[in-house]
Amino acid sequence: GMLHAFDVEDGEELWAFIPPALIYDLPKTMSDFTNQTNSISGVDGSPVVKDIYYDNGSGSEEWRTIALVGMGPGGKGYFALDITDTENPTHLFSFYNNVITRDVTFWNDDGEKYTYNYSQKPLSSVAPDYDYSNLGNSYSTPHILRMGIDGEDNWVAVFGGGYNIGSLEYASGIFVVDLEDGGINNEYRGGKGIL
């Protein structure tokens, strides 16, 4: 249910990270039987790690190592960590789409939580920059690359809309997320047949 980091020399665990969206699922792991737990899908996507050169809020640009991870069958969301200091990672952003309650939840680098309901779409309260309402199960492995945004080259993550078990309501699209601006979804191209 979490992302683990290990020391390659001695195998000791350095740290583990539980995405904010999974916090509410942790009680489901408790079992009524002694010495047993219930399995849940959690962080089941493949991590993508890339060095990117940007200003992380320090006032100057520098190389930082970013890990971006999808939840795979664990849910409809991704999270990003700055793992430049391998023993002290920092949370950059997380987002999660709950298709049952029709809410998109976004957590920024300070851990502040923002929830946007899209049950009345297109009269949605989802802020356009954080509209992950079309995101399905995050099986898509992101690609981190440089791309022009508003006339400037920025580091972005590009990934598919995910897996949707036959529903046309979500997971048909491509997301382009600005990694330099805290996970803002600068572009989304959705709709049947776009992929």
Which pLDDT score, from 0 to 100, does residue 105 have? 92
CA dihedral 145, 153, 108, 169 (to 10 degrees): -60
Average pLDDT, stretch 56-84? 89
Which pLDDT score, from 0 to 100, does residue 168 have? 62
Which pLDDT score, from 0 to 100, does residue 80 have? 93
**Closest Cα to residue 142, out of 174, 94, 184?**
174
Q: Please tell me the distance from the alpha carbon of residue 92 to that of residue 83, in angstroms, as a whole number.
A: 10
pLDDT at 63 over 90: yes
Average pLDDT, stretch 53-68? 90
pLDDT at 190 over 50: no
> What is the chain's mean pLDDT, rounded?
81
Q: Please tell me the distance from the alpha carbon of residue 187 to that of residue 195, in angstroms, as a whole number.
A: 15
Which pLDDT score, from 0 to 100, does residue 21 have? 82
Q: Give the whole-number percent of the chain exceeding pLDDT 90.
A: 27
Segment 2-43, tens digit of pLDDT: 777 888 889 898 888 888 887 776 666 666 777 777 666 666
**Which amino acid type is present at position 47?**
P
**Which amino acid type is present at position 120?**
Q
Average pLDDT, stretch 167-195? 67
From 62-66, 102-106, 160-164, the region with the lowest mean pLDDT: 160-164
**Which amino acid type is present at position 81?**
L
Average pLDDT, stretch 53-63? 88
Q: Give the whole-number percent of the chain exceeding pLDDT 70.
A: 81
Instruction: Point out which residues pair with 81 in neighbouring strands.
Output: 67, 91
